[in-house]
Amino acid sequence: MEKKIDSLHNHFIVCGFGRIGSVVARELMREDFQTVVIEYDTSLLEKMEEQRYFFVEGDASSDLILQKAGIQRAKAIITTLNTDAKNLYVTLSSRQLNPAITIIARAESEDSVQKLEYAGANKVLTPYLFGGLRMAQMVLRPTVINFLEMAIQGENIALQMEELELTSRSSLPGKNLIDSKLRSRFNLIIIAIKNQDGEMSYNPKADVELQVDDTLIVVGTKPDLEEVKKNL
């Protein structure tokens, strides 16, 4: 397993295989992303082995353990440990070991959100707040939330939601939406465009020019989405 982990590049690291971490790891694996789990609790290792996860046994706050998980080569790390102090330390270490990595951190209290962001987390989520907001929206906008959940999960629905990143190798930068033929050729609905500065343009007009490093938020069928990814 160590040799396999050493061969990974642009993979995802999940710190903790508890109630939240196991769901994160499962979703990443379901989407066919290479994933390495770091877990200290030896009682969970057999379960991960049975489910064929790549994993590293040890304390995720240890630089050595992070390096064993390939932190320098990883695309993103999601830290879901059970205390804010541990997640803070993982965030600090990860940012130091890999300045370019994307860090998603769990926070138990709202007071810790800003600290984790200062430590280098790109995004901090508070499960209880997120869960409460989601439950409220299920009451206020049940049809919208049901659609979004099914579109994101990609199960039992014709349409899926996806994001498409435009690189310098893509043929689309420099073209507007009409000339890109994303709508006519691939039957995609363009919900929004996020530029390299993070600004979002919702329901973009047909004459909007696409740029390198734009991210398109689109809705389409799975076959159409797979086809457009081949032609970016």
Question: Are 102 and 207 members of one domain?
Answer: no
Q: Is residue 53 part of a domain?
A: yes
| Residue 149 maps to a domain | no
Has this prediction a pTM greater than 0.85?
Answer: no
Q: For residues 126 and 44, state if they share a domain.
A: yes
Same domain for 122 and 186: no
Residue 5 has pLDDT above 60, yes or no: yes
Containing structural domain, residue 44? 2-132
pLDDT surpasses 80 at 148: no
Write the pLDDT tens digit of every residue in 150-160. Answer: 777 655 566 78
Indicate if 34 and 123 belong to the same structural domain: yes
Mean pLDDT in residue range 82-97: 96
Name the DSSP class of 103: E
Task: List, in order, residues 6 or more apart from 47 with CB less than 8 Å away.
Answer: 17
What's the total number of domains in the chain?
2
Q: Which of these, 23, 30, 14, lies nearest to 127 by C-alpha position?
A: 23
CA gap 151, 163 in Å, rounded: 12
Ramachandran sector of residue 120 (left: φ over 0; alpha: ψ -120 to 50; beta: rest): left
